[in-house]
Amino acid sequence: MSQQTYPKNAWYVAAMSEEVAGSQPLGRKICGESIAFYRSHDNEIAAVLDFCPHRGAALSLGYVEEGLLVCGYHGLKMGADGKTKEMPLQRVKGFPCMKSYAVEERYGFIWVWPGDQSQADKSLIPHLEWAVSPEWAYGGGLYHINCDYRLMIDNLMDLTHETYVHASSIGQKEIDESPVSTEVEGDKVITSRFMENIMAPPFWQAALRGNGLADNVPVDRWQICRFSPPSHVMIDVGVAHAGNGGFDAPANKKASSTVVDFITPETETSIWYFWGMARNFKPEDQALTDTIREGQGKIFAEDLEVLERQQQNLLAFPDYDLLKLDIDAGGVQSRRIIDRLIAKEQSAKASIAVSPSQSSAPLQTVSF
């Protein structure tokens, strides 16, 4: 049995809201759990194990009717609680209850708790100010990538690779010439890099123009990467005309954004990667949002091949001990937090499975 590599008692982004619409369910594997997402009564989001108790068909291949998920194989109808409600001409009320999942729709995303539903606390879903404030605009997308989710966290917590992987868009030599600082605050990790009096790369030149600023003058640039468990990374990025305070420069002197990264494990070697960029300048400009989304999508597509080939190499050379440098500190610290959460989760499971009273009590025979 393989070792657990992700915490399951946590909120993960499972889908964008528009992916689950009308009478069509969505089947998606999250943390090894095959889940069918659908709209039940009053358009509420629901999530159940993607398994029909009749013949094992995938419920996500069915449809929704009057708030119930109908299996597309023989018409079994299931409720959001995982209980079989009815089936044409059959007595099915005694069918076993399928697993249902704690699920919440918020900020334009569908969040799921793939572990113990009784522990799901909706207050643990992170607050996303950019998703509710009219002063911000957001555009993003979704990639399926065949890699361990921790490789993507490593990638995002150390942006040195931008110089090489993204040379034509956001990369520049000053990135890997600038030192990185790493801080740990409880279960959060922050890596920061600041560059002063440099020329902006193409992507940020376009962003400056989009905010009505000159793009051919020296700028101060910043990258502040913030990891929070289980696998969310928010990155404050931007450029400001040099000498105006950098990250703290007034809005009319800079172009800044938050890169949004929700990394959701599908399996141990594949992920659903929800990416986007939230900006707080010209939020009403939809054309600018579309342009930024297109540019950012191309940038992340460049990461995709690198990560998938990296995963293939790691599987081919499982005994190779990878080198760790100071630029890797953000990813290393993030992994330590993940490992701590997994260990805590497994310890709790073990204590429930074998309590002292259960382990010491003699076996008893009960007669009826």
pLDDT digits (tens, 9 = 90+) for 35-45: 999 999 999 99
User: CA-to-CA distance for 113 and 11, rounded, in angstroms?
Assistant: 5
Torsion, Cα of 208, 300, 290, 237 (10° steps): -30
Domains (range + CATH), the chain: 12-119 (2.102.10.10), 129-342 (3.90.380.10)
For residue 293 the two structure tokens come to: 């989304």
For residue 22 the two structure tokens come to: 């009308």
pLDDT digits (tens, 9 = 90+) for 104-161: 999 999 999 999 999 999 999 999 999 999 999 999 999 999 999 999 999 999 999 9
User: CA-to-CA distance for 34 and 196, rounded, in angstroms?
Assistant: 48
* H, E, C per residue of 199-220: CCCHHHHHHHHHCCCCCCCCEE
Look at residue 185 in the predicted model and tell me its pLDDT: 96
For residue 124 the two structure tokens come to: 């643990």
Q: Where are the beta strands (DSSP E) in 231-306?
A: 232-241, 254-267, 270-279
- Assign 3 a pLDDT band (cuts: 50, 70, 90): confident
pLDDT > 80? residue 258: yes
Residues near 247 by Cβ (< 8 Å), separated by ≥ 6? 194, 220, 222, 224, 236, 238, 240, 256
Q: Where are the beta strands (DSSP E) in 11-108?
A: 12-16, 26-30, 33-39, 45-49, 63-65, 68-70, 77-78, 84-86, 102-106
Q: Are 352 and 183 in contact (CB under 8 A)?
A: no
Angle between helix 286-316 and 149-157 (nearest 10): 120
pLDDT digits (tens, 9 = 90+) for 157-187: 999 999 999 999 999 999 999 999 999 999 9
CA-based max dimension of the chain: 88
Residue 173, φ and ψ in degrees, nearest 5:
-60, -25
User: CA-to-CA distance for 101 and 177, rounded, in angstroms?
Assistant: 47
Q: Count of alpha carbons within 13 Å of 158, Cβ hemisphere only?
A: 20
Q: Rounded to two decimals, what is the model's pTM? A: 0.92
pLDDT > 90? residue 96: no
Whether the bond into 230 is cis, omega within 30 of 0: yes
Q: Are 60 and 27 in contact (CB under 8 A)?
A: yes
